[in-house]
Amino acid sequence: MRKPADGSWTKPDRVRVLIDNCLPVDLRHSIEGHEVETAAYRGWGQLENGELIKAAVDAGFEAIVTIDQGGEFRAAVRGQPILAVLLPGRDGSRLRDVLSRVPQIHDALETGHPGEVYRIGGAQAFLGGLLNIKPILEVKNGRVEPLERVRTRRKAMERLVELGAEALGNRRCQIAVGHAQVPEDAMTMRKMLREKMNVAEEFTSDLGPVLSTHTGPGALGFVYYPLED
């Protein structure tokens, strides 16, 4: 996830994650699929805010999970090549409450960018806590209708591509991938679509404010237009 000087980056499959001192150390066992360490293990028990962020960046960490500590911590993160995932302050040191946020932590690591602050609130906790289910929606005759539900973001992306390939077969088509603040996922989907469909032209676009207001960050989808042979 480290952002190079030219402003582009390739998100790794495994993110290096630091757990702050204010969270239970056992949280590290529940964030699967990533390289997770605690600040206590690193000997950073006395570091706070800017000092902790600098130490994490210098050590090569790409994300930090902590409690929302207000504006000072958020300001320390901005401009640094690290993603900050903030849990609600009321969670504190209660392991049960913190573990209920694990699906949202995984979402943040999948969709967040270096230098961003990803705040997990009540609505996100409720929606993400439903077994980490990703809804697949279809726009049909001007109406948005639920199509399927898939667990994990990667499987949802794969299923979207499968649905498009099933609908078009080998017909040539134009595609446009739309996203809400996840340009790297949009590029991944374009590659997946090229592999499964007969794509003649392709485009990428940010979702407009009307859609983004309802979906929030992380939304991803595509439209296709079959071409005459």
Please give the average per-residue pLDDT across 10-17, as a whole number: 77
Q: How confident is the model at residue 154 (pLDDT cuts 50, 70, 90)?
A: confident
Residues 6+ apart with CB under 8 A from 66: 19, 20, 22, 23, 73, 84, 85, 86, 87
Q: CA of 69: how far to CAs of 51, 85, 87, 117, 211, in Å?
A: 14, 11, 9, 12, 30
The two domains 16-128 and 151-226 share their CATH topology (first three levels equal): no
In the chain, domain spans: 16-128, 151-226
Q: How far apart are CA 202 and CA 161, in angstroms?
A: 14
The residue-averaged pLDDT of 73-85 equals 85
Is the domain spanning 16-128 CATH 3.40.50? The answer is yes
Taking residues 46-50, report their average pLDDT.
Answer: 85
Whether 192 shows a pLDDT value over 60: the answer reads yes
Q: Does the pLDDT value for residue 128 go beyond 50?
A: no
Mean pLDDT of 84-90: 82
CATH of 151-226, one of 3.40.50.2000, 3.10.20.30, 3.55.40.20, 3.30.1180.10: 3.30.1180.10
Instruction: Give residue 187's pLDDT band: very low, low, confident or very high (50, 70, 90).
Output: very high
Cα separation of 229 and 189, whole Å? Answer: 25
